[in-house]
Amino acid sequence: MRPGVRLGIDPGDARIGVARSDPSGFLATPVETVRRGRGDLARIGRILAEIAESSEVVEVVVGLPRSLSGGEGPAASKVREFAAALARRVAPVPVRLVDERLSTVSAEAMLRDRGRKGTARRAVVDQAAAVLILQHALDTERATGTAPGETVEETA
Q: Give the span between the Cα atoms of 50 and 18, in whole angstroms.
A: 13
pLDDT 10s digits, 75-129? 899 999 999 999 999 999 999 999 886 555 555 656 566 666 665 556 678 888 8
Give the lowest-confidence range in 9-18, 30-39, 57-66, 119-128: 119-128
The CA angle 142-148-154, to the nearest 5 degrees, is 140
CA-nearest of 5, 155, 21, 140 to 81 is: 155
Q: Which fold has domain 5-148?
A: Nucleotidyltransferase; domain 5 (3.30.420)
Q: Measure Cα distances from 104 to 15, 64, 118, 139 in Å.
A: 12, 12, 15, 18
